[in-house]
Structure 1
Amino acid sequence: MNLVPLLVLAFCLYRTDGDQNRTDRYFNRSSPVLLDLDLDLSAVFRRVDPRFLSVTIDASLAAEERFMLLLRSQKIQVLTKALSPAFLRFGGTRQDFMVFTPQKSQLDAGLADESYDSSLLPWWVEKQLKEDWTQQQLILRGEELQRKYHRVQFSELTVDLLHSLTNCSGLDLIFGLNALLRTADNSWNSSNARTLLQYCESKQYHMSWELGNEPNSFEKKAGVRVDGYQLGLDFTHLRKIMSESKLYRDAGLYGPDVGQPRDHKTDLLEGFLESGAEAVDALTWHHYYVNGRDTSLEDFLDPEVLDTLALKTNEVLETVKRVSPGKSVWLGETSSAYGGGALGLSDTFVAGFMWLDKLGLGARLGLDVLMRQVLVGFGSYHLIDKDLNPLPDYWLSVLYKRLVGPEVLKVQATQASFGRSKRVRLYLHCANKKSYRSGAVVLMSMNLSKKPARISVPALISNSTVDAFVLQSDRQGEEGLYSRSVKLNGEVLKMVDDKTLPSLSGVHQPPAEHLQLPGYSLAFFVFADAKAPACN
């Protein structure tokens, strides 16, 4: 661990010794919110998939196929590999306008080579693609606003590049098929999908599948109405096709990627489960907190907005439990704001509060996988920007991967005389056993207020050393919430070079009676010596 002098750390962990002056010095003489921590280390509350934090690449990247070549960027490969284990879902609105057209693209097919190190994208090609992508995003944005989508033809190159990226980085590819190809009787026309599966099988591409994206909006975006029961029959048809393949008979099939419940209605979801539940390995739905076109900074920090995830999730879980009990439920696509994200918010430091809270709350509520929209590509909610540099939520995601295990534990924080705290939100997991020995636990923490918080450590873990990983904006105050840079323990995070991430070290501290959480901060506190029975 890199030890940084304590005096420069705004979040210092220390033994309480009555030195109020020292506390004031760290927290700009603002009286901290005092919280008591109550936790249960005796048993695992629930367990999520090891690939719980997963990512997407939006199908819009293939709207002009040459942009798929960006996936051969060495920087993207390195950044993607750091998120393993995870699923990588290729889908979104434009997947239902994509048609596989085998033709071996005139683009250099050698750039889809399976080797991690060979056939990297030449720097001048990458530079031109990044410059052109800015203009392409304007075109895609126009289509989104007008809801006028044109049919997109993609060749073997798109599939080759996606498989190469996931194969080299250790992610599991999920490919979204077009569900708007319909027959005269409005059932799914599977002929194009058969051609694609045959090609992928010929290449021995191990991958999973989806069918359709947000079928509840088919009529609005394409003038086609498909009810849930018919959609379930379509998935059953796809499962039959997969069962005829030696390679894909046991492959994953996920869906229906329905939008979140509106006005407490889950009709399409119920119809799908009645006819298609047996066909899918997990049920998928989408969640966004706000409309990216009319949201505000205040929404991103509002505990009531964050709590809407619980409302929507419980509606879905109750429907699944009633119609198809035991079926795994995933967020197949999710981020802060729908409509491509909120410009100037969804790709900045403040978006981390929604993201970390969704990871913590989603795991506790009963979701098994969350797929973050989007790793790279269209919109303002990406993890990697147009210059292929990692944004704050990327660094948050990598820290989560390294520190947080799949075992969810119970924890609650109460504020003296005020009951449960609303602006300090805490979640507890066993620590990742690849990074820490058995018995270690990690407290995920966030402070939505500018006022610092002081968390009392219960006797159960007060004798444990603590590794602190505290994320703050590189700028002070509210202005810093709009920043696209983030500091870990006082150091701005950035890649060392195109193939090297920084060390992402925590600050090792002796046992303490309190944790200090600065205003507007996100943190992981790892209690390495907790000896939690649930984590052994």
Structure 2
Amino acid sequence: MVNRKLNRNGHVLLILMTLELGSHSQEEQEETSQDEIINVHVRTRNSYYNCSRSFLNLGFPHLFFKWSKFPFKSPQALSLSLALPDTIIRIYGTPIFTPEDEVYFAERNNEDWNEKRRKKKREDNRDDETDETNTERVNGSHAQLVGHKPRELILSKAVWQDVVEFATAVKWGFMFGFSAFSHINEPNLYAKYLNINGSTVANDFSVFRNLLKRFPFYNSSKIIGPDVTRFNASKKYFESFLKANGCDYVDEIAFHHYYFKDDATFENFMDVKLLNNYKVHLKVGKELMEKYSCSKPLRLTETSSASGGGVLNLSDTFVAGFTWMDKLGQSALHNITKIFRHSYFGGIYSLINKKLKPNPDYYLTLMFKRYVEGPVFTVKANRPRHIRIYANCAREYRPGSLVIYLMNLSDLKEYINLTSFSTQTVSVFRFTAYEDDLQSKRVLLNGEELVMTGSNLPYMKESRELGDKILIPPYSYNFIIVTEARVKQCINYFKQDSSKDQNGNQDKKNTVEVNATTEKQNTDSDDDSNNGCLSKLRTDVPAAGSILIIYLIVNSVLLVL
């Protein structure tokens, strides 16, 4: 069993090591032999994939809108959100918007039902319900067949105005006039309750695409699906979808992934074998796509550490960062176009808690959003299995900069040598758990605790060091930025990116996905670097009579116009 406290020397008391660390760390580093140093070589000559600025995105459970849980006007909420630019926000739920001040109810008495829902949520101590193992959610999504009441997201004019004002303040954009649709949620789970197979869903997508072609406003819209759960768990279902030509009716293949369920243990979060399951999952999906000549991009539309809302005192603590960093690195290496972290607010696994305090994963997300973009590189290193390393072009610094992000999943400190940059001074960000407690919700950056001051985020202070012997602490995740790397591919990428901005491309703006909505694509180009090109912000409530499509899969297409 892994000790939750960092015991850097199995027979020495932790408190003694902590007291001696400051005075002996330099001496210990000098005593480190060359054989113990991990030589890291980043292959910057070739890169086959890019991370766009909207690679990392966030999900909101729709219930926090419904019950007005999110404090839109809080300075702290604004500050936390402003720090995560270039983000697509995907709201999970089926929306009904009305311009009336009074809430519109869709053929049901919601008053008693909502109160029951609130009571149930208080009992469960959960804030969301969108997870791959939540069978109740599956039943509720098709209430006509199984006897549950439908679950729509309903916004009055007053609530909508709060949402718009918040989005305007943090520079997020909303779209009406949908440019893309993502309709169904984990349809492979439907088979247990509704006997809907993959070929049926593929046919439904075909019907829906033909229907969109009848409307000039929607005929160029993208369709994203089928949002199955892990490919290795939904292999037969996904194959039946592809076999029925489902790939022809979607523009991107969407899927969900969680490492484990909400009964996971501390040891699960630290298990390297479980981290490797994500690669297996992607391999299964890609092999099936190749078998049926499906070359569509892959999009991870829902993910976190554990399903079912997360695991209390694990998904919301420092230890969860290992699964999150590895998911980001592996997704970039395997050309996932976009990844949606569930969730920003709501649930145990949220980035910020109910008191608007950042959980450890927030700071990891902040670092990735701030510094990672562009060409993805492979890494060669004589590393042990508990060291996992990824590399990418770096933004924010001068053109040609390189960012290396890595984690240490053991109680041993390690040292790395950046073989191509050993004589250069690099910027190092080391994240460790407060008081060496991996289940702490408090984080240290280079030994200093990260604490918000009022609504102000803490300053993320780097450590400037030579690249020949960089300390990687036990149980840590780290970002190393080589500011003088002068990587040609990085220079060219950001040069092209800057040129696009001058031509008026809006790919650096943000959007919010409301149920089916995703980012508007540049219709003049299929280049993935244009992902995130958006329409202008709409600050008005949609006019009465606006067409809003709600799409359900119930053996055939069901549309509400």
Q: How high is the TM-score relative to the length of structure 1?
A: 0.74
Using the alignment, how far apart are the partners of 2:37 and 2:486 within structure 1? 26
What pairs up with 1:399-438 in 2 under 5 angstroms? Answer: 399-415=367-383, 421-432=384-395, 435-438=396-399
Aligned to 1:228: 198
What pairs up with 1:463-478 in 2 under 5 angstroms? Answer: 463-476=423-436
Aligned to 1:191: none
- RMSD value over aligned CA atoms? 3.6
Using the alignment, how far apart are the partners of 2:43 and 2:293 within structure 1? 31
Q: Using a 3 Å threshold, how does the CA distance of structure 1 residues 230 and 526 change in structure 2: closer, same or farther?
A: same
Match of 1:51 among 50, 54, 59: 54
What pairs up with 1:182-331 in 2 under 5 angstroms? Answer: 204=176, 208-220=180-192, 223-244=193-214, 248-262=218-232, 265-272=235-242, 274-293=244-263, 295-331=264-300
User: What are the ranges of 5 or more consecutive residues in structure 2 without an aligned counterpart?
Assistant: 1-17, 105-117, 141-148, 492-561
Q: 1:24 aligned to 2:28? A: yes
C-alpha displacement of 1:491 = 2.2
Aligned to 1:443: 404
Using the alignment, how far apart are the partners of 2:477 and 2:323 within structure 1? 11
The answer to whether the 8 A contact 2:235-2:285 is kept is: no
C-alpha displacement of 1:211 = 0.6
Q: Using a 3 Å threshold, how does the CA distance of structure 1 residues 492 and 289 change in structure 2: closer, same or farther?
A: same
In structure 1, what residue type is equivalent to 2:122? Q
C-alpha displacement of 1:229 = 2.3
Aligned to 1:338: 307
Aligned to 1:3: none
Q: Using a 3 Å threshold, how does the CA distance of structure 1 residues 142 and 46 change in structure 2: closer, same or farther?
A: closer
Aligned to 2:81: 80
Using the alignment, how far apart are the partners of 1:145 and 1:228 within structure 2? 18
Give the 3-state SS of the residue equivalent to 1:54 in structure 2.
strand
Aligned to 1:456: 417
Q: 1:512 aligned to 2:508? A: no
Give the 3-state SS of the residue equivalent to 2:202 in structure 1.
helix
In structure 2, what residue type is equivalent to 1:491? E
Using the alignment, how far apart are the partners of 1:66 and 1:534 within structure 2? 47
Q: Using a 3 Å threshold, how does the CA distance of structure 1 residues 271 and 80 change in structure 2: closer, same or farther?
A: same
The answer to whether the 8 A contact 2:432-2:477 is kept is: yes
In structure 2, what residue type is equivalent to 1:348? T
Q: Using a 3 Å threshold, how does the CA distance of structure 1 residues 396 and 30 change in structure 2: closer, same or farther?
A: farther
C-alpha displacement of 1:59 = 3.0
User: What are the ranges of 5 or more consecutive residues in structure 1 without an aligned counterpart?
Assistant: 1-7, 13-18, 109-130, 174-199, 416-420
Match of 2:325 among 356, 376, 384: 356
C-alpha displacement of 1:468 = 0.9
Aligned to 1:533: 488
Using the alignment, how far apart are the partners of 1:289 and 1:520 within structure 2? 19
Q: Using a 3 Å threshold, how does the CA distance of structure 1 residues 318 and 152 change in structure 2: closer, same or farther?
A: same
C-alpha displacement of 1:529 = 0.5
In structure 1, what residue type is equivalent to 2:446? N
C-alpha displacement of 1:469 = 1.1
In structure 1, what residue type is equivalent to 2:464? H
C-alpha displacement of 1:161 = 5.7
Aligned to 2:535: none
Q: Using a 3 Å threshold, how does the CA distance of structure 1 residues 321 and 164 change in structure 2: closer, same or farther?
A: farther
Q: Using a 3 Å threshold, how does the CA distance of structure 1 residues 172 and 30 change in structure 2: closer, same or farther?
A: farther
Match of 1:135 among 103, 108, 122: 122
Q: Using a 3 Å threshold, how does the CA distance of structure 1 residues 102 and 20 change in structure 2: closer, same or farther?
A: closer
C-alpha displacement of 1:373 = 0.9
The answer to whether the 8 A contact 1:474-1:483 is kept is: yes
The answer to whether the 8 A contact 2:188-2:229 is kept is: yes
C-alpha displacement of 1:165 = 4.8
The answer to whether the 8 A contact 1:209-1:253 is kept is: yes
In structure 2, what residue type is equivalent to 1:77? L
Q: Deviations over 1:436-463 (max 9, x none)?
A: 11211011010001110111220x2123
The answer to whether the 8 A contact 1:39-1:410 is kept is: yes
In structure 2, what residue type is equivalent to 1:532? V
The answer to whether the 8 A contact 2:231-2:238 is kept is: no
Give the 3-state SS of the residue equivalent to 1:287 in structure 2.
strand
Using the alignment, how far apart are the partners of 2:486 and 2:228 within structure 1? 41
Q: Deviations over 1:445-498 (max 9, x none)?
A: 10001110111220x21232201111111122xxx1101111112222233323
Q: Using a 3 Å threshold, how does the CA distance of structure 1 residues 208 and 505 change in structure 2: closer, same or farther?
A: farther
The answer to whether the 8 A contact 1:10-1:518 is kept is: no
Using the alignment, how far apart are the partners of 1:284 and 1:229 within structure 2? 16
Give the 3-state SS of the residue equivalent to 1:427 in structure 2.
strand
In structure 2, what residue type is equivalent to 1:473? A
Match of 1:491 among 448, 455, 465: 448
Give the 3-state SS of the residue equivalent to 2:67 in structure 1.
helix
Task: Count the aligned residue pairs.
Answer: 447
Q: Deviations over 1:203-235 (max 9, x none)?
A: x46664311111111244xx3232222222323
C-alpha displacement of 1:348 = 0.4
Aligned to 2:476: 521
Q: Using a 3 Å threshold, how does the CA distance of structure 1 residues 164 and 371 change in structure 2: closer, same or farther?
A: farther
Q: Using a 3 Å threshold, how does the CA distance of structure 1 residues 368 and 522 change in structure 2: closer, same or farther?
A: same
Using the alignment, how far apart are the partners of 1:100 and 1:302 within structure 2? 42
In structure 1, what residue type is equivalent to 2:485? A
Using the alignment, how far apart are the partners of 1:346 and 1:73 within structure 2? 25
Q: Deviations over 1:176-212 (max 9, x none)?
A: xxxxxxxxxxxxxxxxxxxxxxxx7xxx466643111
In structure 2, what residue type is equivalent to 1:106? E
Using the alignment, how far apart are the partners of 2:169 and 2:216 within structure 1? 23
Identity of aligned residues (%): 26
Q: 1:395 aligned to 2:363? A: yes
The answer to whether the 8 A contact 2:198-2:237 is kept is: yes
Using the alignment, how far apart are the partners of 1:11 and 1:408 within structure 2? 36
Using the alignment, how far apart are the partners of 2:262 and 2:478 within structure 1? 26
